[in-house]
């Protein structure tokens, strides 16, 4: 085929997939990272701009990606932090009234390298059977890609939050009466949009001290989503420890893991993570099932929960999906109630955060 540039994907275990390069040209013909798969059928632009994918190469299981193009509105962050994208059949033509740019052009403009034309079903089954693993793809020769795959550290034990958090505090003006401090571990635009009805949001870097957070006199503190392994983030756990009992806290995704770990729970890496928009979760208080959007590779060990009760559970693998602290006003969920992309079943959790702030016993004690 004319115009096709041959490329290959090599996994750390030596498995090779042949395809063709598309999107941005990778430096020296190599892109490397931890290879994971995502099961969404729409929302690819939101996925690519989710900072929680830092360090990872995203495989879309849905074969046809890019058919409705891209636009300037659906970004979830200031840039894309993923290491690349794998697609079976990228659309060359966009067909949607909201589209500003075609998918392939968007990848080039945002410096995202891709490989297409390979068997993503085979790749997904391989990851599902053997677990997410480092890999490298591009136009370089097989030996170079193999070496890059074997030298790729993946995400274990790395502080990836420091690569995606904001450099300085900034304020997002809301419509409610609250003041909320959001610690940015890789916060998404959709989350900020769901918090705006509650009040003004002061977004602060992940390294912000508890004293600086409390100096804002917040009605509540939000712990955001973010990439990678929660274990090396001791400096954030120290901050959360000092905030517990000082202000109501709501955490999502990595924020959930860090809240649990601060309380004394342990976290572990899932075999291939949860990445998609169709995960069933049961809310235990009334056994209602929510279809949720998820993006994480690590989880909280249920048996290790301390000073917290289990509130939500994943019906696919029974992993911890939510907790509520028993001693202080704080709660968290593993999934993404803002749903960007995904179903809106869980957006009530932002109302729960408002109720926690409205009924804040800490405020009553301080006023007394």
Of the residues 46, 76, 152, 338, only one is catalytic, namely: 338
Are 91 and 63 spatial neighbours (Cβ–Cβ below 8 Å)? no
Is residue 349 within 8 Å of residue 194, measured between CB atoms? no
Residue positions counted in the chain: 368
Task: Tell me which of 20, 253, 275, 325 is the catalytic residue.
Answer: 253
Both tokens of residue 65? 């990606």
User: Which is the catalytic residue, given 126, 279, 296, 336?
Assistant: 336
**What is the Cα–Cα distance from 311 to 309, expressed in whole angstroms?**
6
Q: Which H helix or E strand runs over 16?
A: strand 16-23
Task: Say if CB 181 and CB 204 are below 8 A apart.
Answer: yes
- Rounded Cα distance, 345 and 277, in Å: 11
Short-list 15, 368, 22, 104, CA closest to 7: 22
Q: 338 an active-site residue?
A: yes
82 is catalytic: no
Residue with tokens 């030596």: 14
* Contact indicator for 137, 9 with CB cutoff of 8 Å: yes
| 253 classed as catalytic | yes
Which residues carry out catalysis? 253, 336, 338
């Amino acid at each position: 085929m004319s115009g096709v540039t041959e490329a290959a994907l090599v996994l750390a275990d030596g498995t090779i997939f042949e395809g063709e390069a598309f999107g941005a040209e990778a430096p020296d013909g190599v892109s490397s990272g931890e290879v994971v798969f995502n099961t969404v059928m729409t929302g690819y632009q939101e996925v690519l701009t989710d900072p929680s994918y830092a360090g990872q190469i995203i495989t879309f299981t849905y074969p046809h990606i890019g058919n409705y193009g891209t636009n300037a509105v659906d970004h979830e962050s200031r840039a894309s932090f993923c290491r690349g994208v794998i697609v079976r059949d990228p659309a060359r033509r966009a067909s949607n009234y909201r589209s500003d740019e075609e998918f392939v052009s968007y990848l080039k403009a945002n410096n995202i390298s891709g490989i297409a034309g390979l068997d993503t079903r085979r790749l997904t089954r391989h990851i599902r059977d053997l677990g997410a693993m480092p890999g490298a793809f591009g136009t370089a020769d097989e030996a170079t890609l193999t070496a890059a795959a074997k030298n790729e550290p993946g995400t274990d034990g790395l502080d990836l939050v420091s690569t995606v958090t904001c450099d300085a505090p900034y304020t997002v003006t809301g419509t409610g009466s609250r003041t909320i401090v959001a610690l940015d571990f890789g916060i998404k635009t959709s989350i900020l949009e769901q918090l705006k009805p509650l009040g003004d949001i002061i977004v602060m870097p992940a390294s912000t001290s508890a004293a600086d957070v409390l100096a804002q006199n917040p009605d509540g503190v939000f712990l955001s989503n973010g990439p990678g392994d929660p274990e090396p983030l001791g400096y954030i756990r120290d901050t959360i420890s000092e905030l517990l009992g000082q202000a109501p806290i709501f955490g999502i995704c990595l924020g959930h893991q860090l809240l649990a770990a601060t309380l004394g729970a342990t976290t572990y890496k899932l075999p291939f993570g949860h990445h998609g928009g169709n995960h069933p979760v049961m809310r235990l208080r009334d056994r209602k099932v929510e279809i949720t959007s998820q993006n994480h590779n690590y989880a909280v060990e249920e048996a290790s929960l301390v000073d917290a009760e289990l509130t939500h559970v994943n019906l696919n693998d029974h992993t911890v999906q939510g907790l509520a602290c028993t001693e202080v006003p704080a709660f968290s969920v593993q999934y993404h109630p803002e749903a960007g992309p995904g179903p809106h079943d869980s957006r009530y959790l932002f109302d729960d955060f408002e109720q926690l702030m409205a009924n804040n016993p800490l405020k009553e004690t301080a006023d007394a």
